[in-house]
Amino acid sequence: MKLIYNRIFLEHDVGIHPESKRRLQSCGKLKETKIENGEKYLELVHSKKYIDRVKKACRLENYLDSNTIVSKKTYKTAVSAVGATVQASKSNDFALVRPPGHHAFPDHSSGFCIFNNISIAVQKLVDEGKKVLIFDFDSHLGDGTSKYFYESNKVLYWSLHQFPAFPYRGDVDEIGEGNGKGFTVNVPLSPGSGDDIYLEAVKRLLPVARQFKPDLVAVSAGFDGHQSDPLLELRLSMNIFYELGKILSKNFENVFATLEGGYNLEFFPKCLFNFVDGIHGTRQRFKEEKTDSRIITIENFESRIYSLEKNLERFWKL
């Protein structure tokens, strides 16, 4: 898994903001890749009216919503993020992009996200006859992605996220609708959840992902679950992201990823490189002490995971 990166992703200028170009700059000197223009893929997910609204907002350097800022070069950057994610889907690589995408809906932006990079790449794969597992380990629910595929049985959406937290969705009873019932798996984690709970959650739900037998796994890779992240209150160590990489590599043949969140500039790159090391099965570069959860947090987790398994048991063997 190589990093697909280009300096164009620094040109989405949001000033002093959690989702700034400093996130990618914190990764040090990176090899640049030629990026495909993703504009031709936008209407796989987004309405033309919304695309035109983004173009206009960029010309005027307006906000798209209260949290999502745009600048004159944002449109070019955002379509490049789409293109890089599609490239990653073809080569099992990691699209190190910004702006992120998993909060974006077909007709509106949300949560720093403009175009839904992962949904566009996955919809393209579905149109080609593929079954895709989306594993979203950003610790905010990818509500735009979840909503878009909520009635599809060609895509299994699996998210681990803090709850409650923005966008205040993603409880255990949200499992899909229509043909997609049973194909959305939300694992809501209480603030203060540590490595112990997180790994237990992954292991308990992994059988669902394996039974789905995806042709590809698309990862919405967010690193905001780390205990130092300023926007959330989970207590994950850097080790977790290495373990996630290992688990995905061991259980699935074709895995690609695109960047979502992760806002602590010291720890974000270490978590990122640990994830890639885990995918490769090489030595974990960055380590820290494992974290444990308090008894009350463990009790909340057990109650929620039991309810989730009950909701899913008629669709999958657990």
pLDDT in tens, 101-121: 999 999 999 999 999 999 999
Residue 83: the pLDDT is 98
Residue 194: the pLDDT is 98
Number of H helices, E strands in the chain: 9, 9
Q: Determine, yes or no, domain membership for 109.
A: yes
Distance CA 80, CA 120 (A): 12
Q: Is 17 a catalytic residue?
A: no
Global pTM value: 0.97
Q: Determine, yes or no, domain membership for 318.
A: no
Distance CA 250, CA 267 (A): 25
Which CATH number covers residue 85? Answer: 3.40.800.20
Residue 84: the pLDDT is 98
Q: Determine, yes or no, domain membership for 80.
A: yes
Distance CA 129, CA 97 (A): 26
Q: Determine, yes or no, domain membership for 218.
A: yes
Residue 13: the pLDDT is 92
Q: How far is CA 151 from CA 142, 177, 196, 210, in A?
A: 16, 5, 32, 20
pLDDT digits (tens, 9 = 90+) for 18-40: 999 999 999 999 999 999 999 99
Question: Does residue 269 have a cis bond before it (omega within 30 degrees)?
Answer: no
Quote the number of domains for the chain: 1
The catalytic position among 103, 108, 140, 226 is: 103
Domain ranges, residue 88:
3-312
Query: For residue 21, what are the contacts with CB-CB under 8 A and spacing of at least 6?
Result: 9, 10, 11, 12, 13, 14, 98
CA-based Rg of the chain, rounded to a whole angstrom?
A: 18
Q: Determine, yes or no, domain membership for 317.
A: no
- Pull the structure tokens for residue 138: 């950003």
pLDDT digits (tens, 9 = 90+) for 230-242: 999 999 999 999 9
